[in-house]
Structure 1
Amino acid sequence: MLKPSFPMRTGRLDLRPFAASDLDALHAYFSDPEQHRYVSIGGPTDLEGTRAVLERRQGRTALTKEGDSLQLAVVVRETGQLVGDVVLMWRSAQHRQGEVGYMLHPDHRGRGYAGEASTALLAVGFDRLDLHRIVGRIDPRNTASARVLERLGMRREAHLRENEFTEGEWTDEVVYAMLGREWRAARPDTGAGRPA
């Protein structure tokens, strides 16, 4: 079982489990129609719908088995403000596969928070869970998200045509990926010597 100590701290951020008191902050960005333009998580929601989303997120604090997710609130340490969330999904134990994702309040995009928080979860996946491969899946129209994945060192591997039906239309999906050995080569102080 992998349950990190919280909060996980990066240069500017604290990553921590969601709390019931996060409802308004989560609703501020999750209910924004723009958030749902490029992801297949369902459309914008009212406060009660966001409450159900929050309850699911509150249960995602450890990786104990394939299929589990670690989904954490992204909090700017200096202000204490919750600005988004980040997730690491354990997709396959046998093949040592994971997936990373993120969502930020529109007012806090473009500051490097998604990359900073995602880097912390890549470290969890590669260094602590010993994953072989982690992917990021995005709509190709989401060029800002593509830049985040590229800055993380992930490579674009596939472009799937009309792969998902999202918000009433068929959409493409682009898959980015990184291998454990690539992660360790770029960061030699993060557990070199583990099998890739």
Structure 2
Amino acid sequence: MFRPTYPICTPRLTLRPVTLDDLDDVHAYQCRPDVVRWMLDARPRTREESGASVAAMAGEDVLRAEGDCLTLAVAIDAGVIGNVELVWRSQLHRTAELGYVFHPDHGGRGLATEAATALLDWGFSEMGLHRIYGRCHARNEASARLMTRIGMRREAHHVESYLFRGEWADQLVFAILAREWRSRAAAAGR
């Protein structure tokens, strides 16, 4: 079982488990068409749907077995501005998948980069992962840039690999290994 010591603090952010009290903040970004644009369900959520989402995320504060998801609220003084997650994909191969969603009003200041970096650092240092990867729609340039900024390399461009809004879509896959992460951290003085 893997559970972070909460909260995970960065210079500007607090990463912590999602609580039911986060509903207003989470709904503020889940209801936006520009936020859900690249998500598989691809439609803004109603308050009730966000409530169900928050309830599900509130139970994702520990990784017990393969397939489990660790979802953390990303908070600043103004409240929750997004969430980051790690999905435990393989115990044998020590692999997890990174995911994230952020309110666009907080974009352009490096907050998503800071949050994703903190979660990757925990995954490699505390969970002992060997590899963390992320995936995005090939036209989701912001997500691809974020994965590049945190040191992930683009490993694949899968052509027409999944159905997205009833049409075949391309998917990009990015990844970073623990040794690459440690090397970047050492170079950055972390």
> TM tier, shorter chain?
over 0.9
- Give the TM-score, by structure 2 length: 0.93
Q: Which runs of 5+ in 1 are unaligned?
A: 190-196
Q: Deviations over 1:55-99 (max 9, x none)?
A: 1100110112111111011111xx242111110111000111111
The 5 Å alignment of 1:50-61 reads 50-61=50-61
Match of residue 149, structure 2, among 145, 148, 151: 151
Amino acid at match of 1:34: D
Q: Which residue in 2 is equivalent to 1:175?
A: 173
Q: Which residue in 1 is equivalent to 2:105?
A: 107
Q: Does the 8 Å CA contact 1:43/1:167 hold for their aligned counterparts?
A: no
CA drift at 1:168: 3.0
Q: What percent of counterpart residues are identical?
A: 47
Q: Does the 8 Å CA contact 1:30/1:44 hold for their aligned counterparts?
A: yes
Cα RMSD (Å): 1.4
Q: Which residue in 1 is equivalent to 2:33?
A: 33
1:48 partnered with 2:48: yes
The 5 Å alignment of 1:40-189 reads 40-76=40-76, 79-188=77-186
Amino acid at match of 1:140: A
Q: Which runs of 5+ in 2 are unaligned?
A: none
CA drift at 1:34: 1.8
Amino acid at match of 2:34: E
Q: Secondary structure at the match of 2:39?
A: coil
Distance 1:41 1:11, change over 3 A: farther
CA drift at 1:41: 4.3
Amino acid at match of 1:159: H
